[in-house]
Structure 1
């Protein structure tokens, strides 16, 4: 990528989840320049040039041959069938008839509106907004999903015990506060820059690395607790305590036990700002079960020496301490517990609500956490009203498709899975997000029709019955906006669409026309007219604040617009600390609920009324002696543009890289760069080995996002030759409370692969007839 060969006038503004940039086409080559005001630009931008016209792009509408010949219905050939190209009018006629059939025969309870994923930084062409608006117009509603794979457990437990999730993550401790005030950062699971480098709606300034460096240079101590040393950047100068994966709750319990046993807890804070401490303390000190949760108890569970735990607890007393918990910790069995227990630890230290202190849940997990909020709203496309109202926790899609009519527990309710006949997906790739992919293949085989809008041949598109080619963000106009980034971006179209690709909006407009709901969906506006309409909300808000408020044409010509931001005042948590009676938390007690009568009343054995150590079932044993950490990738956002140059360059021999400790490698005869096979009872995949002392012995790490590439799709459990760890992870919920995703951790064995290396076909288009 050479961004210096184009003239300045050629470059036009655009945005992505991984950064604001300008781009130009010169002699058929895409040139990309990061936003000049970004102190730490994200190299994921380098994926755009090679991806733009890659062979993996979908050039025209396709229909799966088996569905076209036999009609709608369950079919195990999904994922390995041929496709038939069709003209747009013909395929929209076909799809319109199928949508009408499902609507008229089965109703809105038979269609699942998928679209889970990071579709676009643009607020109008955001695929989730487009598809949900369409389904509400066409069906009057649909079966939706709630929560996220990223924070499924946290987003359910937090409202019960801490109140508003948005307030905890977005209106609490900022990076500026950390740089100026924090004395100790206790980072459970770290604050990996690869996670903070992305943000929904776009990001113009990546401030995390400079903030951590400023704090460290000032004398702040960063303490990383987790199996991967890379989960804090070098600039933090972190001390590394490598506990066993999934044992953070036990470690936190032991820290609090030490504080209490030595009289170091802030009892005044606990008495004034929390409820249920006495109940929890009985458990903590062992008065309930005869087992104190002390450092000696925690040492064999966590792999951290008891003296280290006790010394760490003493270091925290009297300091401005910020406790952070990565999303990763709650993507595991009993994922609710570390989120809850970290709040108890922060409360015991008495730092909650102070500048740079307290509990910064998920700080560093995503780019718009830890930043000031914008003082004005941004453009938002109304999705309409879902009058059907049924939903599932997002990570339970395979359970739903495989078990219609089965009951399950969620957030105190007993719910029933609907009977889904059509899955309509626009934006996102469940063959990245979901676990136990062989089970997911079985689930998708059971529906009547799977429709996918996609720009490239992901595994989800390969399993679809109708595939509609969608534009990439560079091929359309939009407005980039994040609620916590001060720059609004006029996203100009950089190049023409690939092949016959269309915007999701145009696809749904054409489909709406065939279903008689075009006016309800489009409201008579073109895409550009929608941008003008949506921008007016921000323009009006700016005018009311007395801030410069250019009209749409002036904004579009300028390319960017600096937005005013709210003050960094600590938000609801600072107000709560200053006066808990006048500013109570939105919990039943108005306080931090260390013991929750509500949760206790749900009667879930796997989520009791106070945080507790609940031993996981998925632990190393004979046959699967290693922990697998399946974390987020560094060179792409989830699986997006895995075929881009930056992502491809991170692979070895074309395969994803798995990290393991030299001692574990030596015991298995594995050398640096070897292709290895990771396997358990659910499946197997290949990866390239990288040996490092920056990982705890007994742990192997393989990032998610490599496109699923089965060697023989006809097999029940085919080998993924590309390195997708979700052929190995378990498809079970965190607990009966949240039913969140548990894909972060599982157990595997690893061996050197000695056979003939199978070719990688993940980015090759499927066969067509």
Structure 2
């Protein structure tokens, strides 16, 4: 008998309507049920999974963004037909053309650029604005690789610091299966939520409910964050403010307290950890030596960290002792601390703390990774093949790549950009520099749903279908929950929109590619789910497949039981990375020491005294939904300021202010609140870049203020930036 349960989490259809189950095809942080109520070929209502919450079989309810999909689908600004640019780039001046004209033009330009400059001159700027197992970015990658390759932006813009650190520390290639299932939260006596706020950006469907369940059952929750987030406000027994980009220092100081006071689990470390002590690692190279300051003369005491982080030394010491002596305890690290100039050090210091206290791989503990333990549960995505050329650039360096190309040490001068479901001109750092660096780019294709800040720069615009207008499959965003959702088509493609596979299939024939699309949509989906779904018809009809729970709710439990080694070179948790010892600068972006190490950002805090962080908006998925006025009211765009900082500048709540630094400026209302640390301001990322005649942004786009630099591991550095604020004129 199958362990998979197929269920239809939707209400019965009323007379004259059909109800179709799907899930949002975006990189939203959740994977929820959205049901389209269709009447006369039009979605008239969106409902969600309304079942009562049950920790053993939780419902999959949608947030405001899911219910807001009806506004997005029928938005008056939907791209309706192919267009060709007729005015200056960025002017928004276009003329309507046919699909044949559009695809012939794209094919001709692709062939010309390849012949003239080579494949590396073509940049894939596609991303996750339209994301699922079949359609979306994978369709673009498959096409471009079959065309002979392209320049790739290789690093994960959200979580590369964690991707890297999980691989270096635990040897695990899939960071989405290196954490623990939310069902295990209630087994923790203590949870440190470090830069992690599932109540703001969503971090797995149902995560907040499981955290509330844990707290109700006695779990103590402490939040460490520059802001009192929605999560902290609802759940925290204690909130600890910290300066952005200083997380590693606090974690290292906690490790100092634990090790210096012999509160660590030495037996666990002897069995499972490499690098806390000398012996297997070179003399003086151990984590203990670093903590005690044996090489640099600086013991990493709470007093040392207090001056860096703004956390009182007594608080650091108390948290360290509590974490070491409360069993089991978990540290849940979000991505925010990794989106800093040395972001890999944050994650590696988190994992070190989990390891030395013996919490890795045990129920109620965990690895320090906030994703789940099941990943995709066996569901595969469209095969993309391998990029035939080695032309890769870390994603946060896009602006510099466009500005300097080969002269700046990059592998190519970019002459063509293909963006399918990507809005990188808005979402990569230094939006102003990107907009000013397109003169050498000869041709841009924008394939999307709206005239986003990126599509607005395109020479040819191709209107794509939304997830309601095609069939697909999706899996839990956070790698937790062991289920899949069949995204059943609810309505016919609107206007002249076409789905991604059909667009690339048509284009592939025009450029001489054979075999791009070898199956029907249904055949692809059946094949991609075959390893997990044993009744595809039931899956497609019902909408949700619930798979059996994993043997262990916590990653690496088998390794701790001794059933298998860790996949690192040593077979252990590597606080001392043998990979980094052999190659300390793996990407040419900066040296990464073998052990977790504190580095100061060294930004100009005198001229720009306020530290900027860029959290998620509850009304957007990155820049998706950025043009939805009604949804935007859920979480208006403001700049958070502490009352002391506002008073010092003569700024009052609600006043329009100018936020600026050397690379850009934006204007938006001030929100004066004691929910943010003094000296810190925050602007929610994703607002659409809208420059005026003077080049300054007028809609609160955070990335006009973020620097196009990379962490040594390739991570973005959105949360290491300094700004000034003054009253807007």
> How far off is 1:555 after superposition?
4.2
Q: Within 2, Cα distance between the matches of 1:337 and 1:596?
A: 12
SS in 2 for 1:22: strand
* Match of residue 658, structure 1, among 627, 634, 639: 639
Is 1:521 equivalent to 2:516 in the alignment?
Answer: yes
Query: Would the alpha carbon gap of residues 172 and 631 (structure 1) be closer, same or farther in structure 2, given more than 3 Å must change?
Result: closer
Query: Would the alpha carbon gap of residues 232 and 481 (structure 1) be closer, same or farther in structure 2, given more than 3 Å must change?
Result: closer
Is 1:609 equivalent to 2:609 in the alignment?
Answer: no
Q: Within 1, Cα distance between the matches of 2:483 and 2:260?
A: 50
Q: Within 1, Cα distance between the matches of 2:37 and 2:375?
A: 31
* Match of residue 522, structure 2, among 525, 531, 541: 531
Hey, what does 2:702 align to over in structure 1? 725
Q: Within 1, Cα distance between the matches of 2:137 and 2:313?
A: 48
Query: Would the alpha carbon gap of residues 358 and 621 (structure 1) be closer, same or farther in structure 2, given more than 3 Å must change?
Result: same
Is 1:507 equivalent to 2:503 in the alignment?
Answer: yes
Q: Contact conserved, 1:153 with 1:335, CA < 8 A, in 2?
A: yes
Hey, what does 2:54 align to over in structure 1? none
Hey, what does 2:309 align to over in structure 1? 302
1:561-583 deviation per Cα after TM superposition (whole angstroms, max 9, x unaligned): 4242242414651111111xx52
Is 1:742 equivalent to 2:727 in the alignment?
Answer: no
Query: Would the alpha carbon gap of residues 541 and 740 (structure 1) be closer, same or farther in structure 2, given more than 3 Å must change?
Result: closer
Is 1:107 equivalent to 2:118 in the alignment?
Answer: yes
Hey, what does 2:728 align to over in structure 1? 753
Q: Within 2, Cα distance between the matches of 1:7 and 1:251?
A: 60
Is 1:44 equivalent to 2:65 in the alignment?
Answer: yes
* Match of residue 134, structure 1, among 101, 121, 143: 143
SS in 1 for 2:721: strand
Q: Within 2, Cα distance between the matches of 1:472 and 1:568?
A: 36
Q: Within 2, Cα distance between the matches of 1:357 and 1:673?
A: 43
SS in 2 for 1:186: strand
Q: Within 1, Cα distance between the matches of 2:376 and 2:708?
A: 38
Q: Contact conserved, 2:222 with 2:240, CA < 8 A, in 1?
A: yes
Q: Within 2, Cα distance between the matches of 1:340 and 1:261?
A: 19
Hey, what does 2:200 align to over in structure 1? 194
Is 1:35 equivalent to 2:49 in the alignment?
Answer: yes
Q: Contact conserved, 2:373 with 2:554, CA < 8 A, in 1?
A: no
TM-score (norm 2): 0.89
SS in 2 for 1:621: coil
> How far off is 1:486 after superposition?
4.5
Hey, what does 1:678 align to over in structure 2? 659
Q: Within 2, Cα distance between the matches of 1:398 and 1:8?
A: 52
> How far off is 1:49 after superposition?
2.0
> How far off is 1:78 after superposition?
2.5
Hey, what does 2:372 align to over in structure 1? 370
Is 1:316 equivalent to 2:355 in the alignment?
Answer: no
Q: Within 2, Cα distance between the matches of 1:454 and 1:79?
A: 16
> How far off is 1:702 after superposition?
0.6
Q: Within 2, Cα distance between the matches of 1:639 and 1:535?
A: 32
Q: Within 2, Cα distance between the matches of 1:401 and 1:539?
A: 42
SS in 1 for 2:46: strand
Q: Contact conserved, 1:124 with 1:531, CA < 8 A, in 2?
A: no
1:437-467 deviation per Cα after TM superposition (whole angstroms, max 9, x unaligned): 1111133332121111011010100111111
Hey, what does 2:358 align to over in structure 1? 350
Q: Within 1, Cα distance between the matches of 2:210 and 2:293?
A: 41
SS in 2 for 1:98: helix
Q: Contact conserved, 1:174 with 1:356, CA < 8 A, in 2?
A: no
> Within 5 Å, which residues of 2 pair with 1:337-736?
337-361=345-369, 363=370, 369-370=371-372, 372=374, 377-378=378-379, 380-405=381-406, 416-482=410-476, 484-517=480-513, 519-523=514-518, 525=519, 529-536=520-527, 538-539=529-530, 542-543=533-534, 549=535, 551-552=536-537, 554-556=538-540, 558-570=541-553, 573-579=556-562, 583-604=564-585, 606-618=591-603, 620-622=605-607, 624-650=608-634, 656-712=637-693, 715=694, 718-735=695-712
> Within 5 Å, which residues of 2 pair with 1:146-165?
146-165=154-173
Is 1:120 equivalent to 2:134 in the alignment?
Answer: no
> How far off is 1:406 after superposition?
5.1
Q: Contact conserved, 2:125 with 2:420, CA < 8 A, in 1?
A: yes
Q: Contact conserved, 1:190 with 1:231, CA < 8 A, in 2?
A: no
Count residues in correspondence. Answer: 691
Hey, what does 1:760 align to over in structure 2? none
> How far off is 1:6 after superposition?
5.8
Q: Within 2, Cα distance between the matches of 1:472 and 1:540?
A: 27
Query: Would the alpha carbon gap of residues 485 and 267 (structure 1) be closer, same or farther in structure 2, given more than 3 Å must change?
Result: closer
Q: Contact conserved, 2:245 with 2:340, CA < 8 A, in 1?
A: yes
Question: What stretches of structure 2 of length at least 5 have no aligned partner?
Answer: 1-10, 52-58, 278-285
Query: Would the alpha carbon gap of residues 281 and 428 (structure 1) be closer, same or farther in structure 2, given more than 3 Å must change?
Result: same
> Within 5 Å, which residues of 2 pair with 1:63-78?
63-65=84-86, 77-78=88-89
Q: Contact conserved, 2:661 with 2:722, CA < 8 A, in 1?
A: yes
Q: Within 2, Cα distance between the matches of 1:54 and 1:445?
A: 32
Q: Contact conserved, 2:36 with 2:47, CA < 8 A, in 1?
A: yes
* Match of residue 94, structure 2, among 83, 99, 121: 83
Q: Within 1, Cα distance between the matches of 2:13 and 2:605?
A: 54
Q: Contact conserved, 1:46 with 1:645, CA < 8 A, in 2?
A: no
Q: Contact conserved, 1:606 with 1:614, CA < 8 A, in 2?
A: no
Q: Contact conserved, 2:366 with 2:555, CA < 8 A, in 1?
A: no
* Match of residue 20, structure 2, among 12, 27, 38: 12
1:265-306 deviation per Cα after TM superposition (whole angstroms, max 9, x unaligned): 222222222222232212211221221110111111111111
Q: Within 1, Cα distance between the matches of 2:485 and 2:60?
A: 18
Query: Would the alpha carbon gap of residues 197 and 346 (structure 1) be closer, same or farther in structure 2, given more than 3 Å must change?
Result: closer
Q: Within 2, Cα distance between the matches of 1:711 and 1:50?
A: 27
Query: Would the alpha carbon gap of residues 247 and 353 (structure 1) be closer, same or farther in structure 2, given more than 3 Å must change?
Result: same
Query: Would the alpha carbon gap of residues 488 and 257 (structure 1) be closer, same or farther in structure 2, given more than 3 Å must change?
Result: closer
Q: Contact conserved, 2:89 with 2:456, CA < 8 A, in 1?
A: yes
